[in-house]
Structure 1
Amino acid sequence: MNLLIFGYGYSARFLARELAQPAGTIRVTTRSADKAARLEAGGLTARVFPGADMAADLAWATHVLISAGPENGGDPVLAHAREAIENAANGLVWVGYLSTTGVYGDHQGGWVDEATPLTPSTERGRARVTAEAEWMDLHDKHGLPVHIFRLAGIYGPGRGPFEKVRDGTARRILKPGQVFSRIHAEDIAQVLFASMARPDPGAVYNVCDDDPAPPQDVIAHAATLLGLPLPPEIPFDTADLSPMAASFYAESKRVDNRKIKEDLGVTLRYPDYRAGLAAVLAAETAKT
């Protein structure tokens, strides 16, 4: 496998670790020349993108992961490398696009699956719907082996509630009926790996754990694991959230994950936030 990753961020790093590929078989992009240099020093081949001509890298690749988010309402990879991607389509075995469950919009706590109509209620969600459609258009017109992965809220080592609970800034925001789905970064990686092992071009997968839960329950459990007092409860209407934070509370839904289990044979390592948070705390504690 020769893997090209557009946007070497948090989830992509977990995939690289999961694959444990030999040196020289993963190439990545980043926006920063400094970061590219650090990645090169760590053994990866890194390009600064946008900027670099990706035609040779796409011709080299057998697998491509797009982990870069939309910009200006569209997909930045297609904005800068569409022709090279079209030209490389016949040589690619698998292309994965990381999207979000935000494409479903608000369902007032109801269940959604991959067949649920896309009715995003935020600008970010609408941009993801547009990007998904752009990638699927390449599948339909050029045979690009595209797979869409709709990720729930991502957490893992270094990206969890523990720091805020420790420093006293965590709050339990109470909004009746509010639930979110989540996914540990290691489980994202194993879903992607499983899809690479059994490609199904055109497929769409929800990537989340088994236990949609109210956000205040997750914060409370984190405090319990740390042996600290529960953070204060704040009604949503008086929480004075930033626009970004408030947008997450604009949608409430439970996301069905049966397809990754039935079609890809995935057994989640962290099927709920309790198992996931315990693992995150153990990993973060091991680093100190």
Structure 2
Amino acid sequence: MGNMLIFGLGYTAKHLADRLRAEGWQVTGTRREAVEGAIAFDDPAAVLAAIGEATHILSSVPPARDDSDPVLDHYGAAIKAASLQWTGYLSSTGVYGDVGGAWVDESAPIGSGRRKARSDADLGWQSLRGDVHVLRLPGIYGPGRNPITRVREGKAKRIDLPGQVFSRIHVDDIVAAVIASFEGPAGVYNIADDLPAPQHEVLAHAARLIGVEPPPLLSLEEADLSPSALGFYEENRRVANGKAKRLLGWQPQYPDYKSGMAAILAGILNGDS
């Protein structure tokens, strides 16, 4: 088994860490402050020591408010020089910008949308080492972070935008893709499910699953969204996942939102989510 260092123990990274630890891996993460199982990002001695011990390094840290990549800025040189078996970066399909609902694969241009800083970080990681695997992710859902929970809590807003679709991915399928990439060729991979769909249809399905009325359809003006949420609705694309299937041997366990939410509901009913 390997020794994984994860920069940024957020939602997805925690799921990955749990899976790897269950399989016998040594996993260390960084957080703002040191806690059990994690070291402080701003503790250079501890982080550099962890880089030196790692066989695998993954960054899930997004760009900072000044648009820089904190991991590359602080530790990029050490990561570049390290003796590693694998290096990874969790990017975003937001790098593709708005394509009017068209399909995008990894050959599509990046950097034209609102995620310019993310695009710069994506390219920065690609150029860091020859073994870097960049996984571009769409909307992430899973236990504790999903449409069912938002509908139950009354936080879901269904926006009526004809023709607008989004891709998404279950967190367990991201974890599986990361692990599959350990033995796969370096490069850029879209990790998305097989069924891009309008957000309002996903929320309506979540409501039906738990036996409640779907939230009403609203216009963007009626929804009174935050600027960041509005930006989400300014982009429209379908994300193709064929490269990851071909080169990594990856197949999503939850190929569409219906199968993913069925598993989440089963977990809720079992007290697991």
> 1:26 and 1:242 mapped to 2: Cα distance?
36
User: Which position in structure 2 is the counterpart of 1:21?
Assistant: 23
Contact kept, 8 Å, 2:6 with 2:58, in 1: the verdict is yes
Amino acid at match of 2:213: P
> 1:189 and 1:82 mapped to 2: Cα distance?
24
Amino acid at match of 1:111: W
Secondary structure of the equivalent of 1:96? strand
Moved more, 265-274 or 232-241: 232-241
User: Which position in structure 1 is the counterpart of 2:172?
Assistant: 186
Partner residue of 1:255 out of 234, 239, 242: 239
Amino acid at match of 2:73: A
> 1:128 and 1:113 mapped to 2: Cα distance?
17
Partner residue of 1:146 out of 109, 128, 132: 132
- Verify: 1:62 aligned to 2:55, yes or no: yes
Deviation at 1:148, TM superposition (A): 0.5
User: Which position in structure 1 is the counterpart of 2:117?
Assistant: 127
User: Which position in structure 2 is the counterpart of 1:155?
Assistant: 141
- Verify: 1:86 aligned to 2:80, yes or no: yes
- Verify: 1:104 aligned to 2:96, yes or no: yes
Q: TM-score, normalised by structure 1?
A: 0.89
Alignment deviations for residues 77-133 of structure 1 (CA, whole Å, 9 cap, x no partner): 111112322321xx11110100000000001111100000114321xx111111112
> 1:172 and 1:110 mapped to 2: Cα distance?
22
> 1:59 and 1:164 mapped to 2: Cα distance?
41
> 1:167 and 1:5 mapped to 2: Cα distance?
31
| RMSD over equivalenced CA pairs, Å | 1.5
Instruction: For structure 2, list consecutive stretches of 5 or more residues without a partner in the other structure.
Output: none
Contact kept, 8 Å, 1:70 with 1:131, in 2: the verdict is yes
- Verify: 1:270 aligned to 2:263, yes or no: no
User: Which position in structure 2 is the counterpart of 1:116?
Assistant: 108
> 1:242 and 1:192 mapped to 2: Cα distance?
32
Q: TM-score, normalised by structure 2?
A: 0.94
Contact kept, 8 Å, 1:18 with 1:190, in 2: the verdict is no
> 2:8 and 2:177 mapped to 1: Cα distance?
18
Deviation at 1:146, TM superposition (A): 0.8
Secondary structure of the equivalent of 2:190? strand
Amino acid at match of 2:123: A
User: Identity across aligned pairs (percent)?
Assistant: 49
Moved more, 113-122 or 181-190: 113-122
Deviation at 1:231, TM superposition (A): 1.0
1:230-241 paired onto structure 2 within 5 Å:
230-241=214-225
Residues matched between the structures, number: 268
> 1:183 and 1:177 mapped to 2: Cα distance?
20
Q: How has the CA–CA distance of structure 1 residues 81 and 238 changed in structure 2, closer, same or farther, with 3 Å as cutoff?
A: same
User: Which position in structure 1 is the counterpart of 2:183?
Assistant: 197
Deviation at 1:236, TM superposition (A): 2.3
Alignment deviations for residues 49-86 of structure 1 (CA, whole Å, 9 cap, x no partner): 02332222111111001011111212101111123223
Alignment deviations for residues 15-72 of structure 1 (CA, whole Å, 9 cap, x no partner): 123332326x111111123xx1xxx2xxx3x210023322221111110010111112
> 2:52 and 2:135 mapped to 1: Cα distance?
24
Instruction: For structure 1, list consecutive stretches of 5 or more residues without a partner in the other structure.
Output: none
